[in-house]
Amino acid sequence: IRQLAQCGMEIGLTTVVTADNVAELSGVVEMAYYLGNVRRVGFDLLRPQGRGSAVRRARAEDMAQAMEAVFALNRKLGRMTGRTMAITQMEQAACLARRTGGGFSHCHAMNGAGVHVDVLGNIYACSSFVGDAHFLLGDVERGIDVQRQKEVAQEMQNAMAFCRTCADFSACGGACYARRAGQGPPAVSTAECALKRAAMRAAGS
């Protein structure tokens, strides 16, 4: 990061959030200001695929508290330095607040537009499901099975239909399918809801 700074290159940082680091998220913002060339920070909740299945996920109450601390520190350091750091989730919330349509806004796979190619040339709907034949859409030699792509997108949307009943759906854009996959019956990711609601409050303040 320092070498990039010496070359005059600005960057963004993304932190994968788990139960082990959720209490330290404001420290990421502090570090970003200290480094000097970071212009955007994002927080990505752990998905339970691959090695992530063995890692403890953050609780909703811890996520809410952590994000309030993140936004408060960002405002404080912004005033002190004259340069406010962009927080990805806050930017997304501000953008969604202006939209006029509905539907799942955040996920290419759920909208039938996700294309993720592995080293063998196989094409999957979602990066979290690379290697899972159920989400295989084709390969670089033969192309994408468009019908299968539509079926996978519809399956994902149907599984997340409970999001549509939430009062915050239009401002949220819906939860991540990969975060609830493998949890049995469709269930909301409460930590993700806490993250997005904190971002919506910050964007509206």
**30-39 residue pLDDT tens:** 999 999 999 9
Calculate the average pLDDT of the chain: 91
Q: CA–CA separation, 140 vs 154, rounded Å? A: 23
C-alpha distances out from residue 78 to 26, 91, 96, 127, Å: 13, 16, 24, 34
Give 89 or 187, the one with higher predicted confidence: 89
Q: Residue 137 has which token pair?
A: 């859409």
Burial class (CB in 10 A: 0-12, 13-18, 19+), 194: buried
Residue-level pLDDT at 185: 54
- Predicted confidence (pLDDT) per residue in 140-161, tens digit: 999 999 999 999 999 999 988 8
